[in-house]
Amino acid sequence: MRHRTSHILSLQSMVNRNCGTRISGNAIKRLEQADAELLFDYAQLVAAARNSIVTIRFLTHRVKDIEQEVSSQVTLRDEFASLLTIMGIGKILALTIMLEVGDINRFKKVGNYSSYCRCVRAERLSSVKKKDENNRKNGNRYLSWAYVEAAHFAIRFCPHAQRFYQKKMATTNSIVVVKALSNKLARASYYVMRDQVPYDPKRFFR
């Protein structure tokens, strides 16, 4: 997934720089090799685009094969099924969360869980002044990845997340906003898993 995303972003950037237009990630996934000649005029750019398209299509097939293999061997347990009510979390992300969390009750508070998911800043403050910084590698990197992925999907499909994203973008950059949204989703999923209740976006996007 990460390798494919890097190639998609690279091709998006190349189109933006050389053509002055934007192309969505989904549109790039649908491109064929022959489409490279429709995007660019120069032979070097066409060749680079073809290589990216071939790589993206190959990785897309590999991702699907891996997902099918995982789905055939791992079943989402009942106590984690409510994760699927969170817009942005599909079956694969829900399985990832389930396998990495184990028992949600081992986290006494929601803050402990969001910290374990690396969704909060590794800083200790006193009187609004930074006093120290914790180890950024503490916690679970796979859960961190899962909630960032969920945040990206939520921005695309959830109206509440879209409004949150647009409001925060007025004061900071997209990386910070996506991380803040991933923290919201992590905190929401904590209560969804712990209390076995469906996700209610109105509670988390007031």
pTM over 0.95: no
**Mean pLDDT of all residues in 46-73:** 90
Cβ–Cβ < 8 Å for 70, 95: yes
Whether the per-residue pLDDT at 127 is higher than 60: the answer is no
Angle between helices 141-157 and 174-195 (to 10 degrees): 100
- CA pair distance 7, 203, nearest whole angstrom: 37
126 DSSP β-pair partners: 129
pLDDT over 90, % of the chain: 46
Whether the per-residue pLDDT at 114 is higher than 90: the answer is yes
DSSP 124: E
Site of tokens 């996506």: 178
Assigned token pair, 57: 């299509």
Confidence bin at 62 (pLDDT 50/70/90): very high
- CA pair distance 119, 116, nearest whole angstrom: 8
Whether the per-residue pLDDT at 115 is higher than 50: the answer is yes
Please report, for the chain, the start and end positions of each structural domain, with discontinuous segments joined by +: 2-73, 78-204
Q: Which long-range contacts (CB under 8 A, 24 or more apart) does 120-123 make?
A: 120/183
- Ramachandran bin of 108, using left for φ above 0, alpha for ψ from -120 to 50, beta for the remaining angles: alpha
